[in-house]
Structure 1
Amino acid sequence: MRKILIPSDLTDISENALRLAMDMPETFNAEIYLVNFTKHPLGESFAVTGDVDKKYVNEDNVYAISLVKRYYKQLAELATRYSTETRPIHYKIYDSVLKKGVTKFVKENDIDLIIMGTSGEESAEEFFSGNHTEQVIEVATCPVISIKENYKKGDLSKIVLGLSTERDRKDNFLKATNYLNDLAESLNAEIEIVNVVDPGKDSKIEREKELSEFASKFDLRNYTISVVPYHDKEKGLINFASERNAGLLAVFTHAEDGFFRILRSSLSEHLSMHSETPVVTINLHNI
């Protein structure tokens, strides 16, 4: 993990993403990019100098220029507050709306990980497109960590992986496990594979065998396996991660962009909304 993107709308919730990045141990030696995604008329030079060329100043742009200058100042203050000598923070205003901007920024800068805050809510207006975090998960070509308002640092040497062995032809499990291995090694963390089963209905021994074969096939490293009986998969995973004081709860997802998102229920979406443990989501269809 060499480069981390933190999309920021300059709220307290998005600041939690920066806190998590700085809570990661020194072994997690990655560059941090703190970026606000806002459409503006000022060009890329503004992100470097903070100056505004007179040609951009007209009646239509006065408000936009004022807003971007304020955002830029706030980003600078955040970066200064959290930066250290060994872990500087790059910051900029990126001329794009969030979803398209993140996609372009990740590609242009070879980003390995996205960390972003989420309110855990979805308005009626967002139903078809998803909340901001879910929109990013749907298009992200790298892992996304979502973090809620009540963030408390857990034990980052523990990653709980909620795993189902079901797959479809577009799933890239090998690359997903490579990402997770990389993340775990950067944190000096152990992965605990967890599968939540219906109490009294599923064979624990058979499920453990399936999970072990899966981990071996896709080269998952430094892991243990737990099969947990619980009537609700989402709550079972959340409770397990909380009881372990895990620093991260990881899931692989089939999250789809656009209209198809309303045709399938995404466990990753529910977890990012309800889990107090930060959730690592790796989209099997995009990586």
Structure 2
Amino acid sequence: MTKLFNHIMVPVDFSDVSELAIEKSIDIANHFKCNIHLVFTETPGLFSKHSGHLFSSLSGVPADAEARLVRLQNQYTDQLNQGLSIHSCIRQGNKNRSVIDYARRHRIDLVMVGRGATMVDNMFNRGFNINEITKGVKCPVITIREETGQDAWLNIVLPVCSALPIRKIMFASYLARKYNSRIHLLSIAGDENNQDADGNQYLHKSYQLLRENTNIHVECHTMRGHNIAEATMRFAEKINADLIVVNPGKETMLSGVVNKLFKGFLFNESKIPVMTISTAGIS
């Protein structure tokens, strides 16, 4: 089986939730024998509520940022299995562009991002744009929120729409083999008399693909609804899922004017970790 994860990147802002992302990356790194990259980026002349420091108008970096990053590196290196390592880097400029550039330059295979606990946090804390990052890095991006536990990913929810989700299946099955997970394939039907023919067609094809090529436990589910992101979040919460695997676009877009105005995407609102995967890899 091809090794999909070799280098994990964690954007760091010294908040509790970014440390939570580091802790989860340690677990994944030990499972898949990966190295970890901690990257701190800040824009000049702005105050970070997470770090509690005023940034220099010249450098954009708090005076103790390097020392704090080294402390994190030393703290978590001891938790890695022998032979694995943690690298750290300080960058300046736009947060999203910095993540994308670093990921491309260092061949990052997985990005772990800590998210604020509320829509307001994500709107006003100059957080990361997951859609932009996912499309830019072309590797999976996992978002972790403060409510996230540290248990293994035993139940993975994978929505299926109007195409066969090959890349989602590839990464979900890769994780499922390591964690002995159960994959829940999910599609939606508009109402009792109007079944989503495409969704059900590809739901069954996805199930067949997994059953014929793996020994992973797989279940198929159909929920009534018109928004796949909302149905996915409801279903994942109902079964106490540990991970949701989606493509950017309609699978992450919650309905309603408020959600459109205040970035109410699935990866912002879900208390369950969300892995967002671009439909195409880097060429």
Pick aligned residue for 2:134 from 132, 137, 155: 137
Alignment-derived partner of residue 33 in structure 2: 29
Alignment-derived partner of residue 203 in structure 2: 211
Measured in 1, the distance between the counterparts of 2:197 and 2:123 equals 42
Measured in 1, the distance between the counterparts of 2:12 and 2:61 equals 15
Unaligned runs of 5+ residues in structure 1 are 41-60, 168-172, 256-264
Is the 8 Å Cα contact of residues 146 and 278 (structure 1) preserved in structure 2?
Answer: yes
Matched ranges for 1:240-251 at <5 A: 240-251=235-246
Measured in 2, the distance between the counterparts of 1:284 and 1:199 equals 28
Distance 1:158 1:196, change over 3 A: same
Is the 8 Å Cα contact of residues 42 and 92 (structure 2) preserved in structure 1?
Answer: yes
Higher-Rg member (1/2) = 1
Matched ranges for 1:48-63 at <5 A: none
Distance 1:28 1:70, change over 3 A: same
User: Alpha-carbon deviation of 1:7?
Assistant: 0.7
Alignment length (residue pairs): 249
Distance 1:285 1:206, change over 3 A: closer
Measured in 2, the distance between the counterparts of 1:184 and 1:11 equals 30
Alignment-derived partner of residue 228 in structure 2: 233
Measured in 2, the distance between the counterparts of 1:110 and 1:250 equals 21
Matched ranges for 1:188-227 at <5 A: 188-203=180-195, 207-214=199-206, 216=208, 221=214, 222=216, 223-227=218-222
Measured in 1, the distance between the counterparts of 2:238 and 2:213 equals 23
TM-score normalised to the size of structure 2?
0.72
Q: Which has the higher contact order (CA 8 A, sep 6+)?
A: 1
User: Alpha-carbon deviation of 1:279?
Assistant: 0.4
User: Alpha-carbon deviation of 1:156?
Assistant: 0.7
- Which range moved further: 69-78 or 86-95? 86-95
1:11 aligns with 2:15: yes
Measured in 2, the distance between the counterparts of 1:188 and 1:30 equals 19
Report the 3-state secondary structure (helix = DSSP H, G, I; strand = E; otherwise coil) of the residue aligned with 1:123. helix
Is the 8 Å Cα contact of residues 161 and 202 (structure 2) preserved in structure 1?
Answer: no
User: Alpha-carbon deviation of 1:198?
Assistant: 3.0
User: Alpha-carbon deviation of 1:224?
Assistant: 2.6
Measured in 1, the distance between the counterparts of 2:161 and 2:37 equals 32
1:179 aligns with 2:171: yes
Report the 3-state secondary structure (helix = DSSP H, G, I; strand = E; otherwise coil) of the residue aligned with 2:32. coil
Matched ranges for 1:131-170 at <5 A: 131-166=128-163
Measured in 1, the distance between the counterparts of 2:29 and 2:8 equals 14
Instruction: Give the letter aligned to residue 107 of structure 1.
Output: R
User: Alpha-carbon deviation of 1:140?
Assistant: 2.4
Alignment-derived partner of residue 283 in structure 1: 278
Is the 8 Å Cα contact of residues 155 and 183 (structure 2) preserved in structure 1?
Answer: yes
Alignment-derived partner of residue 66 in structure 2: 72
User: Alpha-carbon deviation of 1:37?
Assistant: 2.0
User: Alpha-carbon deviation of 1:220?
Assistant: 7.7
- Which range moved further: 7-16 or 114-123? 114-123
Distance 1:25 1:90, change over 3 A: closer
Distance 1:85 1:103, change over 3 A: closer
Is the 8 Å Cα contact of residues 118 and 149 (structure 1) preserved in structure 2?
Answer: yes
Pick aligned residue for 1:270 from 246, 265, 274: 265
Instruction: Give the letter aligned to residue 123 of structure 1.
Output: M
Is the 8 Å Cα contact of residues 165 and 211 (structure 1) preserved in structure 2?
Answer: no
Pick aligned residue for 1:89 from 65, 86, 99: 86
TM-score normalised to the size of structure 1?
0.71
Q: Percent identity?
A: 21
Is the 8 Å Cα contact of residues 249 and 278 (structure 1) preserved in structure 2?
Answer: yes
Is the 8 Å Cα contact of residues 41 and 92 (structure 2) preserved in structure 1?
Answer: yes
Measured in 2, the distance between the counterparts of 1:249 and 1:164 equals 14
Measured in 2, the distance between the counterparts of 1:124 and 1:77 equals 28
